[in-house]
Amino acid sequence: MDLAGRSAAYGPAGLEDDLVTQLLLSRGVARDDLDRHRSPSLRAFLPDPSHFRDMDAAAERLAQAVLTGETITVYGDYDVDGATSAALLIRLLRGLGHDARHYIPDRLLEGYGPSGAALVRLGQEGSSLVVTVDCGAMAHDALAQARDAGVDVIVVDHHKCAAELPAAVALVNPNRLDEGETGVAHGHLAAVGVAFLLAVATVRALRVRGWFETRAEPDLFALLDLVALGTVADVAALHGLNRALVTQGLKVMARRENIGMAALIDASRLSRAPTCSDLGFALGPRVNAGGRVGEATLGVRLLTSDDPDEARAIAAELSRLNEERRAIEAAVQEAAESQVDAQHNRAVLVLAGGGWHPGVIGIVAGRIKEKTGKPVLVIALDADENGHGKGSGRSIPGVDLGAAVIAAREAGLLVAGGGHAMAAGLTVAPGQLGRLADWLDERLAGDVSRAQAGQSLALDLAVAPGGLNPALVELLESTGPFGVGWPSPRVAVGPVRVMKADIVGSDHVRLITRGQDGATIKAVAFRAAQSELGQALLHGSRDRKLWLAGRAKIDDWGARPAAELHVEDAAWAD
């Protein structure tokens, strides 16, 4: 147990500042930019969409389709970012007086991204314009088939691009290699954030053409609940514009104006307005469950539904599928973890097995990455009729897995592959698995070593046990929302003695501790019972004083709210 960097960010050097100021400064906010970040608004952070490559071309083509009544299909991915992106554009078009179709590919039968056959078929069914969301940036063959069939395609994506772009009317993606300064600065946007910018640009294009002279403009702010859900669930970095989108989106979500979103909140058994963590751990997984183990269209259908009965039925089905997903995930994780020890010398873990459900491999990769501190690829073998393996990977900060996967594809090691720095997907041919594992290990070993050497537990402040109270938690929470790139404040509490330690649930360590000031605090170390930290807390800490480090939260199970600590690490105090 090593509690690195015990000195708190809030110390003598910053006594002239309040705690919120210190927290903002420690997250990279310039002192002359503090006011903008204290209460992030769209007015303060939203860029001019025209500064993104192809944005104006995309908006003009979409506006033209609205003006002339063309049939539009929104082609989404099967995860939360894809579902929310598709729902956003469909709801936008409804607000413009124009209905749109949706198409979500089946994960198992069609795989990730647009297929040429599907795009051509959509054209044959009457769609002259297809907008792909959260996919398409690497779909060269599919988009070429669509072009040859006379189908216009707009790509709205955020995944990494190759130097050669696919044939599209417009490709809006801040991660294009030829993107300008504004686009590059917003490369952390989820696809739903890019879709929102397209919505802004499209409304502006229609305004110029006089479309709103006889009709009301759609309320773009009402779409921000979708942006918040997709951004958080896709683990996009919550700084800059993303932080403003999620902050305002949570406010919209609390109003429960979107019937499908309200049904999803109710199905998640939330009796209060959702928080940022609820989006990632309650709402998002339910939407994802449809694409992972059920019907891929359920998420879009829910989030675009205006029928309360239909919305409740879909939300209930997604909750059922989410429970099914949990059971499947547990089985795959157990099988994958059995391979970890044999790869202890690898910088990148490549775990593969037959019969693994492709719908859960990304979650399993994330779980094992958290346990091992290494990038992880989990591959479901024989996932299609050609015997290809379908893989999903999760990385650690400082290691760009998406770029490595794209390079592996360009080197002929993959049938398909792409992603972004922290997550990637791939298709690998039979017999190439060993070569792929060796290639990734050689390419990323240095990056992984440097990333692991730079790991530390940064603290924002240290308090005595009596200082951990609801007022402090409320103050810390005011600097949210929190996520990747904008971590929730980490607090060190101590010194304390453990008065009681036991296991609750399947693998959580619950603590009751008391400080030298006489204050008693409750703490929980999640999924830690079998770890070195968990074992020390359970068996080795009764006679020694500890500093505990983690996130301060509100425990509202009792008669009145109390503060508790979600423990991430500990260190001996004597």
pLDDT at res. 556: 75
Q: Are 258 and 225 in contact (CB under 8 A)?
A: yes
451-494: pLDDT as tens digits: 988 777 889 999 999 999 999 999 999 999 998 889 999 999 99
Q: Flag the least confident range among 66-70, 129-133, 208-212, 551-555.
A: 551-555
Of 492, 489, 541, 476, the C-alpha closest to 512 is: 541
Which CATH code is given to the segment(s) 338-453? 3.10.310.30
Tell me the C-alpha to C-alpha distance, in Å, between residue 451 and each of 269, 375, 490. Answer: 39, 11, 20
102-149: pLDDT as tens digits: 999 987 788 788 999 999 999 999 999 999 999 999 999 999 999 999
pLDDT at residue 17 tops 70: no
pLDDT at res. 388: 93
pLDDT at res. 454: 77
Burial code (b: 16+ CB inside 10 Å, e: under 16) for 223-253 equals bbbbbbbbbbbbbbbbbbbbbbbbbbbbebb
What single letter denotes the amino acid at residue 428? Answer: V
pLDDT at residue 548 tops 90: yes
Q: How confident is the model at residue 230 (pLDDT cuts 50, 70, 90)?
A: very high
User: Counting beta carbons within 10 angstroms of the beta carbon of residue 75, is it exposed (0 to 12), middle (13 to 18) or buried (19 or more)?
Assistant: buried
Q: Is it true that domain 45-320 has CATH number 3.90.1640.30?
A: yes
Structure tokens at 474: 């409320």
Torsions phi, psi for 479 (to 5 deg): -95, 5
**In the chain, what are the domain boundaries?**
12-34+457-572, 45-320, 338-453
What single letter denotes the amino acid at residue 127? Answer: S
pLDDT at res. 139: 94
pLDDT at residue 13 tops 70: no
For 15, which DSSP code? T
For 280, which DSSP code? I
Q: Is the dihedral of CA 296, 299, 300, 301 positive or negative?
A: positive
Q: How confident is the model at residue 208 (pLDDT cuts 50, 70, 90)?
A: very high
196 or 383, higher pLDDT: 196
Q: Are 254 and 269 in contact (CB under 8 A)?
A: no
pLDDT at res. 111: 76
Torsions phi, psi for 348 (to 5 deg): -120, 125
pLDDT at residue 416 tops 80: yes
pLDDT at res. 340: 96
40-99: pLDDT as tens digits: 999 999 999 999 999 999 999 999 999 999 999 999 998 999 999 999 999 999 999 999
For 166, which DSSP code? P
pLDDT at residue 354 tops 80: yes
Which CATH code is given to the segment(s) 12-34+457-572? 2.40.50.460
Average pLDDT, the chain: 92
pLDDT at res. 541: 66
Q: How confident is the model at residue 12 (pLDDT cuts 50, 70, 90)?
A: very low
Sort strands 170-172 and 376-381 into parallel, antiparallel or unpaired: unpaired
pLDDT at res. 574: 73
Q: Are 399 and 380 in contact (CB under 8 A)?
A: no
Q: Locate the DSSP E strands across 129-274.
A: 129-133, 152-156, 170-172
pLDDT at res. 555: 86
Of 36, 51, 40, the C-alpha closest to 200 is: 51
